[in-house]
């Protein structure tokens, strides 16, 4: 995992969202990171130093002049130690100080020392009226221009004052994904990637459809991985249950529930793409006619015939229109004659590579968080990726094909 053995510095300022940060620290530690914490004094009004020390396993830096500090200049040693820093929540006060270069407490001196040397994620959180303040917006725009800084846009929703508006700190999963982004080498900057994910739904009548067990986890993991590497991603989604986490807006989601809708979306976006990865489980057949009303079972009826017709072949259509600079990667989920069927699909649909997985492999296939795949290339190369998380499988696939 990308956070394994990484040194993460968590900076906390005095906003109500500080109470969520112990859960972020716990999640980072679970992912294999080593975490240290720097805070303002006001932050400790919302979350105790003992809590932060317990979940991080390290002493908290909250007072520049504390006698218990490990080093006399913690604000220098902590940036030296860390691989990346996240400031969450970042209050209006801390954002303004950051933009002006003011360093007058444990957190802001640490930020001032870190900002020119290490990646920093800033997660503003405040009342919507404070967020809309021109001075706050000017400060945000200032720090957005700095090379090492990435600002996560605050969410809209209920606020501590009892109203609703823009200013909520994003959820923990978004903060962690932002750190994953910050720590990933940007090997795909300038590339546009088209990815399909999930299963299609072929309508029978207003209340029924034909589908499959796909959750979209593998396709969404691929979208996350490409975005982390700096690519612009168009994600065409069928029915998915896996969450899409998009802290910096690099993934453009297009919903396309039916095979026909997915075909049309892919054909529209393919000309602008450098790479397409077709991970969706697209239905091969669809009802020849969709009933306008719910089909009712009649008295004494024991069977029903449903007439099906083939759906558009997305992979073949993209393969036949592929330009010299474009690459097309397919997926094959097989239950028998796996490699033979996959190679036939690769050739017939003009793919550059195909990712093969089998329902017969324990821990692979639909609905699980792990996968085991073999990547077969048109040039004859073959790469096997052992059973691991779908996030790690996605990284292995991209490492193989780029």
Report, as residue numbers or ranges, the catalytic residues: 161
CB 229 within 8 A of CB 248: no
DSSP, collapsed to helix, strand or coil, labels residue 278 as: strand
Q: What angle do CA 108, 111, 113 make, to 5 degrees?
A: 110
Distance CA 167, CA 266 (A): 35
CB 82 within 8 Å of CB 9: yes
274's tokens:
């450098």
The residue length of the chain stands at: 402
Q: Cα separation of 39 and 305, whole Å?
A: 67
| Listed residue (172, 188, 185, 187) closest to 86, CA to CA | 172
Q: Name the DSSP letter for residue 271.
A: G
The continuous run of DSSP H or E covering 235 comes out as strand 232-237
DSSP 117: T
**Phi, psi of 246, rounded to the nearest 5 degrees:** -140, 65
Is the N-terminal amide bond of 89 cis, ω within 30° of 0?
A: yes
Contacts of 344 (CB under 8 A, 6+ apart): none
Whether the Cβ atoms of residue 218 and residue 393 lie closer than 8 Å to each other:
yes
Are the beta carbons of 47 and 12 closer than 8 angstroms?
Answer: yes
Measured CA to CA, the distance from residue 126 to residue 89 in angstroms comes to 8
Which string of b and e fits 338-351 if b means at least 16 CB within 10 Å? beebbbebbeebbb
Stretch (H or E) spanning 244? none
Peptide bond into 245 cis (omega under 30): no
The two three-digit tokens of residue 239, written as one number: 């029915």
């Amino acid at each position: 995992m990308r956070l394994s053995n990484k040194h993460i510095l968590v900076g906390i300022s005095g906003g109500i969202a500080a109470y969520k940060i112990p859960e972020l620290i716990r999640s980072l530690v679970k992912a294999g990171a080593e975490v240290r914490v720097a805070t303002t004094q006001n932050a400790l009004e919302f979350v105790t130093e003992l809590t932060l020390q317990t979940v991080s396993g390290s002493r908290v830096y909250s007072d520049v002049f504390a006698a218990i500090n490990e080093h006399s200049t913690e604000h220098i040693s902590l940036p030296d130690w860390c691989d990346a820093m996240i400031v969450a929540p970042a209050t209006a006060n801390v954002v303004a100080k950051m933009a002006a270069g003011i360093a007058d407490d444990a957190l802001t001196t640490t930020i001032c020392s870190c900002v020119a040397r290490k990646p920093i994620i800033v997660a503003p959180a405040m009342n919507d009226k404070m967020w809309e303040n021109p001075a706050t917006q000017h400060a945000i725009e200032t720090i957005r221009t700095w090379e090492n800084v990435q600002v996560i846009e605050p969410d809209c929703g209920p606020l501590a004052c009892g109203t609703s508006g823009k200013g909520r700190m994003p959820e923990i999963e978004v903060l962690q994904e932002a750190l994953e982004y910050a720590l990933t080498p940007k090997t795909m900057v300038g590339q546009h990637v088209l990815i399909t994910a999930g299963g299609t739904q072929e309508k029978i009548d207003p209340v029924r459809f034909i589908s499959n067990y796909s959750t979209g986890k593998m396709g969404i993991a691929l979208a996350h991985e490409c975005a982390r590497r700096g690519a612009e991603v168009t994600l065409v989604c069928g029915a998915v249950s896996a969450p899409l986490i998009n802290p910096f807006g690099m993934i453009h989601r297009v919903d396309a529930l039916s095979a026909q809708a997915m075909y049309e979306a892919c054909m529209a976006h393919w000309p602008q793409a450098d790479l397409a990865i077709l991970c969706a489980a697209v239905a091969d057949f669809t009802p020849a006619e969709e009933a306008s009303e719910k089909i009712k079972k009649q008295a004494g009826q024991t069977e029903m015939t449903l007439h099906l017709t083939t759906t558009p072949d997305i992979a073949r259509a993209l393969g036949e229109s592929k330009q010299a600079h474009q690459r097309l990667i397919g997926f094959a989920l097989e239950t028998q004659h796996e490699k033979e069927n996959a190679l036939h699909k690769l050739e017939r649909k003009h793919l550059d590579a195909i990712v093969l997985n089998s329902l017969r492999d324990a821990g692979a296939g639909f609905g699980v968080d792990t996968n085991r795949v073999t990547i077969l290339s048109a040039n004859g190369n073959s790469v096997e990726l052992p059973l691991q998380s779908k996030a790690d499988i996605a990284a292995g696939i991209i490492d193989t094909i780029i």
